[in-house]
Amino acid sequence: MTKTIALSLLLATAATAQTPTMLPDIGPKFEAVTPAADYIRREVMMAMRDGVKLYTVIVMKKGTANGPILLTRTVYNAGKNTSRNPSQSITEILPVSDAEFVTDGYIRVYQDVRGRNKSEGDYVITRPLKGPLNSTQTDHSTDAYDTIDWLVKNVPETNGRIAITGSSYPGFTSLMALVDPHPALKAAVPMSPMVDGWMGDDWFHNGAFRQTMLDYFTGQTATKNDEDPVAMGHRDYYAEFLSAGSVGGYIARFGLDTLPGVKKLMEHPSYDSWWQGQALDKILGARPLTVPTMLVVGQWDQEDSYGAPAVYRALEPKDTGNKLLSLVIGPWRHSGVNYVGSALGVLKFAGDTGLQFRRDVMKPFLDSHLKPGAPAFDTPPVLTYAVNADKWQRHDRFPAGETVNLYLDDRFSLSLNAPAAKTAHDDYVSDPAHPVPFVPVPVNVRDRTVWGPWLVSDQRHASVRPDVVTYVSQPLKAPLQIHGQPEANLFASTSGTDSDWVVKLIDVFPEENSAQPEQAGLQLGIGMEIFRGRYVKSFEKPEPLTPGKAERYRFLLPGVNHVIPAGHRLMVQVQSSWFPLYDRNPQKFVPNIFTASPQDYQKATQGVWRDTQRPSHIAIPVMGGAAAARAALNN
C-alpha cells in the first residue's frame, strides 16, 4: 500500500468517526481561548497559616514588570469580579473602578475570604479578631498578612509593594489588614467600611434594628455562593413586615432563625461586650497608626455611613502633622465611589465625581507610596465635595465648621435664638399599626433604583403625616455651608415606656425651578438618623422610659459638606418610626424587641420639647460660624 493510499484511508476513517451521543456534554473545565487578550489572569488556591486555601485571582496587563499590587479581599465573588465580561480587554473583565490602575502597571488581586465562594474554611460574618470572641488562630488580619506575604514571594511581576482597598465588607477587610500590617503593605483605601454593626453600620443604628438587611444574611450564609434572598417574592416590604406582627414574627415566618448569623443578632440586641469587642474603631484606636490610610465614604451612604468618620475620630489624634490619615466624603450612595458619579437620584453634579476622585486623588496617593520615583502627592487631610456648590474642597480637619445651635421654635419654625418659653412642647401620636415609611409605599428594597438613592428621596411624603412634626425656616438670605456631622439634641417624652426617635435635617428647594422641575419643592435629606429610647442612659443596659418624662437624646447625623443656597429653607422633621427599614418599637418596654408579641405594640403620645429647660436643637457645624448662620437665617 502506498503512502498516498494509506493517508487517504486514515482521513476517510477520521471523517466518518462520530462523537458518541451519550458522551457527557459538560466535561473538563472549558478554557476560553484568548489569543489577543491584553492581560494575564491567574487563579491560585493560596494556603494560609492553618492550611486553609483561599481562592485568589491575579490579573495584570501583559508585559507588566515591577508592578505594585492592589488587593481586595471580598465576600462578593473574586471570580466574577475578575471576569465581568467575556472580553480580551483587561478593562472589560474588571470593574470600571480598576481601569486607571491596571492600565498604568498595577497588578489587581481579588480574593474570596475564607468560607465564601471558592475559598476553603468556615465563614463567619465580619469574623472577629482572634481572642475572646474567636478561639481560632486566624482572622482577617492574619489572612491579609499571609496573603500579602505569598504575593510578595510568588508574583514575579511585582515590585513588592502592596495596597489594600475595597468597599463595604471589603472596606472592613481593608481595615482589618491594618491591625497587624505586613511590612509590604504600604497604603490602604477602605471605602464605606463596616466598622461597628450596632452603633451605626449595617445591622443597627443606635440600637434600632435594620430589618431589611435580613436579606443579606440569607445571601451570605444560606450557601457559600452569592444571592439567596428571603423567599418572599417581590411583595411590598412594608406590608410584608407589618403582616408578620413583629420582626421576630418575620424571622420565624421565613425560617431565618435557623441561620446562625441571625440567631447571634437576636441574642445580642444591646451593645454588650460581644459588639464592643468587634468595634473596629476601638480596636484600631488602641494600636499605632503606621500605614498611610485614606478613609472614603458617601454623604448619602445608605448602609455604612458610620464607619469611616468613626475610624477617623479614633485615629486622627495619632496622626501628628497630618501625614498618615485622610478622610474623603463624596456625593455618593453606598459604594458609589466605584461607579459613575455624575448624579444621584434627581441630583446632578459637575462631572463624574467618582472618576475625579479615583483619577485625581486615589491613584496619585497610591502611586506616591507604591511606585518608586513617582511624584510626591500632597494628600489632603480632609477632602469633601461641597453639594450644591459642585466642587471638591480641601480642609485640615473634620469638621471644618464651627458649631451653631439651630433651635426648634414655636409656630413650627427654626431659630438661632434659644427658646424663652418656660413650658412648651409639640405632640403627636405614634401608632405602630401605621408606621411612617422611609420611602413611599409600596417598598421594594431589592429594586436598586429605590434602595441605592433612597437617602436623597423627597421627604414630602413624611412631612404631611400627622405623626411627623416639622419645623421649617424662612428662605435663606445667604448661602449656608454645613461641614461636619450635625448633632441632634432632642428633648422628648412619651406616654409609653419605650420609643424610637428619628431626626432629619433637610434642605428644602424652592417651589419653582423651570431649569430642573424634578427638583422643585424637593425636601432633600442632608443628614437623617434614628435613636432607640431605651438606650438613653446606657447602650449596654437598656431601661424603660418614664411615661411623660422628657429625656435628652444626643446623637450624630452622618458627615456632610452641604451648601444650602440662598432661597432654600432649612427643615427639621421628628418622628418615631422609619419602616420597614427599621423594626417597629412596641412603645412598651420589653426585654428583647426581637421576641416582642403583637400585643406588645401600642399607641403612644409623643412630646417634642422646646423651652428654656428642654431646648431641642440641632448643633450644626457651619463654615463661618454664628456670623454666617445669622446672615443666612436673618436672626
Query: In CATH, what is the architecture of 402-633?
Result: Sandwich (2.60)
Per-residue pLDDT tens for 67-114?
999 999 999 999 999 999 999 999 999 999 999 999 999 999 999 999
pTM over 0.75: yes
The dihedral over CA atoms of 509, 514, 515, 521, expressed in degrees to the nearest 10, equals 20
Beta-carbon contacts of residue 380 (< 8 Å; ≥ 6 apart): 326, 361, 394, 395
Q: Give yes or no for residue 7 having a pLDDT over 50.
A: no
* DSSP collapsed to 3 states, 74-131: ECCCHHHHCCCCCCCCHHHHCCHHHHHHHCCCCEEEEEECCCCCCCCCCCCCCCCCCE
Q: Are 604 and 499 in contact (CB under 8 A)?
A: yes
Q: Give yes or no for residue 242 having a pLDDT over 80.
A: yes
Q: Are strands 617-622 and 67-74 parallel, antiparallel or unpaired?
A: unpaired
Query: Which of 441, 434, 500, 432 is closest to 238 using CA atoms?
Result: 441
pLDDT value for 10: 46
Beta-carbon contacts of residue 19 (< 8 Å; ≥ 6 apart): none
pLDDT, mean over the chain: 94
Q: Are strands 402-409 and 413-415 parallel, antiparallel or unpaired?
A: antiparallel
At 352, which amino acid appears? D
Of 57-61, 381-385, 447-451, least confident by mean pLDDT is 447-451
Q: How far is CA 136 from the centre of its chain?
A: 28
Per-residue pLDDT tens for 102-117?
999 999 999 999 999 9
Q: Give yes or no for residue 1 having a pLDDT over 60.
A: no
Q: Are 417 and 407 in contact (CB under 8 A)?
A: yes
Per-residue pLDDT tens for 428-443?
999 999 999 999 999 9
pLDDT value for 58: 98
Q: What is 39-198+275-395's CATH number, 1.20.970.10, 3.40.50.1000, 3.90.340.10, 3.40.50.1820? A: 3.40.50.1820
- Tell me if 39-198+275-395 shares its fold with 204-274: no
Confidence of residue 504 (pLDDT cuts 50, 70, 90): very high
pLDDT value for 208: 98
Q: Where are the domains of the chain?
A: 39-198+275-395, 204-274, 402-633
Q: Are strands 185-191 and 67-74 parallel, antiparallel or unpaired?
A: unpaired
Q: Give yes or no for residue 4 having a pLDDT over 60.
A: no
Q: Are strands 480-484 and 560-564 parallel, antiparallel or unpaired?
A: antiparallel
pLDDT value for 33: 61
pLDDT value for 321: 85
Distance CA 236, CA 168 (A): 26
Confidence of residue 380 (pLDDT cuts 50, 70, 90): very high
Query: In CATH, what is the architecture of 204-274?
Result: Orthogonal Bundle (1.10)
